[in-house]
Homo-oligomer: A and B are copies of this chain.
Amino acid sequence: MTTRDILLRAKAATATLSTLTTEQKNNALAAMAQALLDDTAPILAANAADMEAAKATISPVMLDRLALTEARIAAMAAGIRQVAALPDPVGHQLSETIRADGLTIRKVSVPIGVVAIIYESRPNVTADAAALAVKSGNVCVLRVGKEAWRSANAIVTALRCGISSVGLSADMINLIEDTTRASATELMKADDLVDLLIPRGGAGLIRACIENATVPCIQTGTGICHIYVDKAADLEMALDIVDNAKMSRPSVCNACEVCLVHKDVAAEFLPRLKARLCDPARAVTAELRLDERAAAIIDGTLAGEADFDTEFLDYILAVRVVEDVEGAIAHIAAHSTHHSEAIVTADAATAARFTAAVDSSAVYVNASTRFTDGGEFGLGCEMGISTQKLHARGPMGLSELTTYKYVITGNGHTR
Contacts and interface: CB of A to CB of B under 8 A. Distances in A.
A405 B19 contact: no
B414 A368 contact: yes
A367 B210 CA distance: 40
B244 A367 contact: no
A356 B109 CA distance: 11
Given A97-B377, A377-B406, A403-B393, A356 B412 contact: no
Interface residues of A, number: 67
Contact of A365 (B360, B370, B371, B408): B408
A401 to B, nearest CB: 11
Contacts of A214: 210-211
A105 B378 contact: yes
Given A19-B357, A112-B389, A405-B393, A415 B371 contact: yes
A113 interface: yes
A333 interface: yes
Interface in A342-401: 351, 355-357, 359-368, 370-372, 376-378, 388-391, 393-394
A364 B394 CA distance: 34
A191 to B, nearest CB: 7
B196 A210 contact: no
B361 A405 contact: yes
Contacts of A241: 412-414
Contact of A389 (B18, B196, B245): B196
Given A196-B389, A234-B412, A388-B216, A406 B365 contact: no
A240 interface: yes
Contact of A248 (B105, B333, B372, B415): B415
A411 interface: yes
Contact of A361 (B357, B377, B406): B406
Contacts of A390: 112, 196, 216, 218, 390-391, 403
Given A112-B389, A378-B97, A370 B414 contact: yes
A308 to B, nearest CB: 16
A369 B152 CA distance: 45
Given A15-B333, A405-B393, A412-B366, A191 B216 contact: no
Contact of A403 (B97, B243, B355, B389): B389
Contacts of A333: 15
A365 B409 contact: yes
Interface in A226-246: 234, 237, 240-241, 243-245
A195 interface: yes
A411 B415 CA distance: 56
Contacts of A168: none
A191 B207 CA distance: 11
Interface in A160-201: 191, 195-196
Given A112-B389, A210-B191, A357-B15, A407 B366 contact: no
Q: Which of A245, A363, A408 has the most CB of B within 10 A?
A: A408
Interface of A: 14-15, 18-19, 97, 99, 103, 105, 110, 112-113, 191, 195-196, 210-211, 214, 216, 218, 234, 237, 240-241, 243-245, 248, 333, 351, 355-357, 359-368, 370-372, 376-378, 388-391, 393-394, 403-415
Given A99-B378, A216-B389, A361-B406, 9 more contacts: A18-B356, A110-B359, A195-B389, A216-B390, A237-B411, A243-B414, A360-B405, A363-B407, A376-B415
